[in-house]
Amino acid sequence: MATEDEGILVVKKGPGLTSHDIVARLRRIFNMRRVGHCGTLDPLATGVLVVCLGRLTRLNEWIANADKEYLATFCLGANSDTGDANGVIQPTDAYEPPNFERLKSSLQALTGTYDQVPPVFSAIKVNGVPSYRLARQNKAVPLKARKITIKEIEPLQYSWPMLRIRVACSKGTYIRSLAMDLGTDLGCGAYVNALHRTRVGTLDETNAWTLEEIETRVNEARFDGLFVPPVQCLDNLPHLVLNSLDLKRFGSGQGVSIALFDAVKKRQNYAIFDINQCLYGIGCWDLDSALMKPVKVFHPA
């Protein structure tokens, strides 16, 4: 349940804007400070950017944990210092353009769970400083590899030097790193020429609004259908419906005893709802006390 003071928005991000630009614009549109996005999109990228307003910004970490899906166009035969078309492009010498079968084999090798090194031009902080700032100063950027999962890579179109693919992946995956890894494997180099995010969890472009559409509706006080209900955004968490007495206890910060609860779930997080699918908070089953304990608590709007 959302009001004009809180909610979850799916924004259609345009090219050239940073995720911070989107947040700043929404703060002006809604005249509020408490606005945060759930997963950065590079300036070159377009598509789905999930943004939370008001107290629902406390859900950012769970929404950001959802799987993502992208349509990406890679340019083969060259490298970029940023990993995309916004960087300094250096053509690669002495290589043979790969055929489609070679391409499919390299893409298949990039699926699965493994450690991926983020691009140095990224928002990851090194000693409190975004790594892209260090990279722009030609300073060493020691970024650690992070475990990611590439669930699917589907080649959609290939006409040298352009390759268009669909990628379904876990949180934390850098498509620019994927392009660079592909270019290394093929021996010809590669960078992201275009990138469009089509999905975050179950939220896709059917839920999305442009900034102009959002501003028009807010100015006209038409909030119906603008926000996505939390129950639709937390598909990566198991849902648990509590009765009114247990909700009162949970809402006051107390643990709740649940008869016949599957303790095998251990310390897994749960999204807590009432029978009307109104979000009350995030809970965690505590084995020691055998209680569902509050992690985050919300109150019905």
Do 107 and 196 lie in one domain? The reply is: yes
3, pLDDT greater than 60: no
Cα–Cα distance, 115 to 69 (Å, whole number): 19
Phi, psi of 207 (to 5 degrees): -95, -5
Average pLDDT over every residue of 53-78: 95
Do 119 and 144 lie in one domain? The reply is: yes
Average pLDDT over every residue of 248-277: 81
Q: Which domain holds residue 254?
A: 237-297
* pLDDT tens string 150-188: 999 999 999 999 999 999 999 999 999 999 999 999 999
**What sections of 158-270 are H helices per DSSP?**
175-186, 211-219, 230-233, 244-251
301, pLDDT greater than 50: no
Evaluate whether residue 99 is within a structural domain: yes
Look at residue 160 in the predicted model and tell me its pLDDT.
96
Look at residue 233 in the predicted model and tell me its pLDDT.
92
13, pLDDT greater than 50: yes
Mean pLDDT of the residues in the chain: 90
Looking at the structure of the chain, the number of domains it has is 3
Do 73 and 36 lie in one domain? The reply is: no
More confident residue, 4 or 89: 89
- 185 catalytic per annotation: no
Average pLDDT over every residue of 269-277: 93
Do 50 and 158 lie in one domain? The reply is: no
Average pLDDT over every residue of 95-106: 94
Counting residues of the chain whose pLDDT is more than 70, the rounded percentage is 90
CATH of the domain at 256: 2.30.130.10
What band does 37 get if pLDDT is binned at 50, 70 and 90?
A: very high
SS3 of residue 68 by DSSP: strand
Average pLDDT over every residue of 233-259: 90
The active-site residue, picked from 42, 84, 181, 246, is 42
CATH of the domain at 180: 3.30.2350.10
131 CB contacts (<8 Å, ≥6 apart)? 118, 120, 121, 122, 123, 124, 125, 141, 143
* pLDDT tens string 212-232: 999 999 999 999 999 999 999
Evaluate whether residue 213 is within a structural domain: yes
Look at residue 143 in the predicted model and tell me its pLDDT.
77
Average pLDDT over every residue of 253-269: 72
Evaluate whether residue 188 is within a structural domain: yes
Do 241 and 227 lie in one domain? The reply is: no
Do 196 and 282 lie in one domain? The reply is: no
Do 113 and 156 lie in one domain? The reply is: yes
SS3 of residue 10 by DSSP: strand
What band does 2 get if pLDDT is binned at 50, 70 and 90?
A: very low
**What sections of the chain are H helices per DSSP?**
19-30, 60-64, 100-109, 131-136, 175-186, 211-219, 230-233, 244-251
Do 83 and 155 lie in one domain? The reply is: yes
Cα–Cα distance, 8 to 232 (Å, whole number): 10
Look at residue 131 in the predicted model and tell me its pLDDT.
72
Evaluate whether residue 110 is within a structural domain: yes
Evaluate whether residue 140 is within a structural domain: yes
Evaluate whether residue 159 is within a structural domain: yes
Residue 6's nearest CA partner among 59, 47, 49 is 59
Do 51 and 106 lie in one domain? The reply is: no
Do 161 and 259 lie in one domain? The reply is: no
Average pLDDT over every residue of 87-96: 90
Look at residue 95 in the predicted model and tell me its pLDDT.
83
Evaluate whether residue 153 is within a structural domain: yes
Do 58 and 73 lie in one domain? The reply is: no
